[in-house]
Each structure stands twice: as C-alpha cells, then as structure tokens.
Amino acid sequence: MTKNFQCARRLQVLPEYLFDIIAMKKAEAVAKGKDVIDLGVGDPDLPSPLHVVEALKKAVDDPSHHRYSSFKGMQELRETFAAWFFLRYGVDLDPDGEILPLIGSKEGIGHIHLALVDPGDKVLVPDPGYPTFQGGTILAGGIPVYYPLLPGRGFMPDLQSIEKMDLRGVKIMHINFPSNPTTAVADLDFFRQMVKFGRRHGIIVCHDAAYAELFFDEPCPSFLQARGAMEVGVEFHSLSKTYNMTGWRLGFAAGNRDIVKALGKVKANYDTGVFSAVQRAGIAALSGDQGCVQRSREIFRKRRDIFIEGLASMGLEAVEPRATFYVWSPVPGGYTSMEFAEKILEKTAVVVTPGSGFGEYGEGYFRTALTVPESRLQEAIDRMSHSNI
C-alpha cells in the first residue's frame, strides 16, 4: 500500500500548467474519434533544417558525444553563438563569461529564479504572459507581481504606471518581445527605457527573445543592443522556433556575466548540460545557411494572412501580427475565453488557447498557433465559420 503524502506547499499554490490542460482536452477529443486540428500549443510543424539533422546524425556516430557534457556547453558552441549574435545585432559577447547554453530557453527562464530570487522576493510578471515566468517565481519561493499589458497601449508595459507600484523587494522584471501571446513587438527605444528602469530601481531585467527571428517586416532588436543593458540584465534565446527545433532543447542565456555565472551555478547542480551531439547540431544551425529561417518566415506569413482573413470573414478582428506564429484575437461576445475554447473544440474539433490561461488580463482573448499546413488551417477556419458560435 502506498503511504499517504502531501506535496510541497509550493506545488499547492502553483497553478496547473496551461498546456497540460489543453493536451488533456485534446486527448479526450481524439479518444472520441474526432479529427482534431491543433492550433493550441506553439510547436512548429515544419521540419528541422536538413543540414542540422545531418550534423546530428554525424555527431551521434561519434562515441565521444556519448558521455556527459558540461553545463557550460562546448567552447565552439558558445563562440558560434557569439559570432551569430554579433552578425545579427552588432553586440560583442564574451563566449567565456556572457553566454550560457541552456536545455531550451524555458529551462533557463525557470532556473533564473533559483539563481536570483530568495523566498519572499517579488518578481514583475507580464499579464498576459508566458506561464513559466509565474511558475518559476513560485517554485523559487518568490511572489509574482503582475503588470498588465493592455490593448490601448498596444500590449506594451506602461513603465510610468509600474513605477507607481510598491517596488520594494522586487528582484526581477520579465519582458518578452516579440510577445507570446500578444505578438507585440518592442523597439530599441523601449529597451533603452527598460535599462533606465532597471538602474533606477535595482531590478534585473530578463528578456525572453524566443521569437525574435520570426519577424515579418523589420528585424526585431535585442535588449542587449541598448546601452547599459549588460549592466542590468540578460536575454534568453532559443533555437526551437528559429530553426524548428522544439524537441531538440537548445537555447542560450546572454548578458550580464554575474547573472550568467549565477545561473550556471544552479545548472551545475541540476543538470550536466545539453547532449553534445545536439550542441553540434546547434553549431550547424547558427553557422550554416540562414535561408531556412527566411523560408519559415514566408510560410508563417502566408498562414498569418490566411487566418486573419478568415477571422475577418467571421466578423472577428485581430491585430495583424508583425512577428511570431501566433494570432491574438478577441473572443466573440457572450463567452469567456475558456468557454469559447471549449465550445470551439466541442463543435469543430479545433484547439485554440484561452487567453485567461496567460493571466487575468488575457481574459476576453484567444490565441491560435499557426502550426499546421495551409490546407488544415483553411479547414479550421471553415469549421469555425460554419459552427455559428
């Protein structure tokens, strides 16, 4: 007989992870024999680039990659990321102190709280925002303090309003641009303001830039391009979305060397680094032909246009995304976001994500991930338009 036990209090206050709920509801629909079109989780359907796959195959055949790696990652990988970063942003990073490979950027975003947050410390979390900002704070014993992202401001933080809040005890402020879920894009002037904000209040700025390469018009800037950013924060990058490598789990933290060192100390006690064959694949991705990234942008741009036009035909408005592969849309009148998502799944077998799963201010919206082929995306639109919801 299994003895009764009680989980840690931190888990009792941790909300159920949004995408676990979505996966469960999808599985229930599939079990009923429904042909489900999943526009819920942001997992690209496009294959990883061939040259990246070939690099992995070659590395797997090398027995030297079958052993433990270091949490610091390969020197060549850090140097390759530094070269990519300089070419892309014009920022010179030290591969030996200002870059740390991650087992996906999500891992680093979660663990940064263990490196910087003591129990009772506060963390500024965007609402709506990526759930790991909140979850990582709670698991470290911190207190999430939510700041709203409102449509009247283009879903950008209102720093003047935030400065009127009680900021005593705040250690970190999370920002995320291009934004998941709102798709908002920040300019370099905003990042300059963030540097000044961090300096004024002694707050560390953590920028999640996972979608920075999925832009449709002008390239997105880096927070680290702002003068003084290296003094106050770090930026998280991911190969998952850029190179369609979500399952490979490879990302980077870059920025202030003391923060990077602290995160590395946590990782040294939690993991033994990224599988070195995957690191070899990452080197191939970052140093190889970047035409694969442009092709992904073009595919997602077409899907964006199809879906925005489809929403308009149903009388639903959405701001045309300038980046990411998401669409952030108002829910039709008469529904909460969860009610709408459940009704859409029940009536059409299409999975969308309720905005309330991203925070209080996500209520009234739903997010769709454009991660199915155009034919399936059009079918999803047809199903939704004929559902009379």
Mean pLDDT (whole number) for 27-39: 90
> How does pLDDT run across 124-159, given as a tens digit for each residue?
999 999 999 999 999 999 999 999 999 999 999 999
> How does pLDDT run across 349-364, given as a tens digit for each residue?
999 999 999 999 999 9
> How does pLDDT run across 257-304, given as a tens digit for each residue?
999 999 999 999 999 999 999 999 999 999 999 999 999 999 999 999
72 within domain boundaries: yes
Question: Domain containing 321: what range?
Answer: 9-47+291-385
Q: What phi, psi does 193 have (nearest 5°)?
A: -65, -35
In a shared domain, residues 28 and 13:
yes
- pLDDT score, position 115: 98
Residue 100 token pair:
């740390």
> How does pLDDT run across 296-347, given as a tens digit for each residue?
999 999 999 999 999 999 999 888 999 999 999 999 989 999 999 999 999 9
In a shared domain, residues 37 and 135:
no
353 within domain boundaries: yes
CB neighbour list of residue 76: distance below 8 Å, 6 or more residues apart: 283
In a shared domain, residues 163 and 224:
yes
> How does pLDDT run across 53-65, given as a tens digit for each residue?
999 999 999 999 9
Query: Taking a C-beta distance cutoff of 8 angstroms, is the pair 148, 154 a contact?
Result: no
**Beta sheet of 326-330, edge-to-edge order:** 326-330, 365-369, 353-354
4 within domain boundaries: no
Q: Directed axis angle between helix 257-270 and helix 105-116, to 10°?
A: 100
68 within domain boundaries: yes
The domain boundary residue, chosen from 287, 306, 333:
287
In a shared domain, residues 335 and 283:
no
In a shared domain, residues 60 and 167:
yes
- pLDDT score, position 1: 42
The domain boundary residue, chosen from 240, 267, 287:
287
Better-predicted residue by pLDDT, 75 or 20: 75
1 within domain boundaries: no
Cα–Cα distance, 166 to 122 (Å, whole number): 10
Cα–Cα distance, 197 to 163 (Å, whole number): 8
127 pairs with which residues across the strands?
A: 148
- pLDDT score, position 25: 81
CATH number at residue 24: 3.90.1150.10
In a shared domain, residues 35 and 61:
no
The domain boundary residue, chosen from 265, 287, 309:
287
340 within domain boundaries: yes
In a shared domain, residues 43 and 54:
no
- pLDDT score, position 2: 56
Select from 144, 146, 168, 166 the least CA-distant residue to 157: 146
Mean pLDDT (whole number) for 15-36: 82
CATH number at residue 113: 3.40.640.10
Mean pLDDT (whole number) for 188-197: 98
2 within domain boundaries: no
Cα–Cα distance, 330 to 340 (Å, whole number): 10
In a shared domain, residues 63 and 151:
yes
> How does pLDDT run across 85-124, given as a tens digit for each residue?
999 999 999 999 999 999 999 999 999 999 999 999 999 9
Could you give the number of structural domains in the chain? Answer: 2
Strands (DSSP E) contained in 55-150 are 99-102, 122-127, 143-148
Q: Directed axis angle between helix 374-385 and helix 337-348, to 10°?
A: 100
Q: What is the pTM of this model?
A: 0.96
In a shared domain, residues 244 and 316:
no
Q: What is the DSSP string of 302-366?
A: HHHHHHHHHHHHTT---PPPSBSSEEEEEPPTT--HHHHHHHHHHHH-EE-EEGGGG-GGGTTEE
CB neighbour list of residue 385: distance below 8 Å, 6 or more residues apart: 310, 313, 314
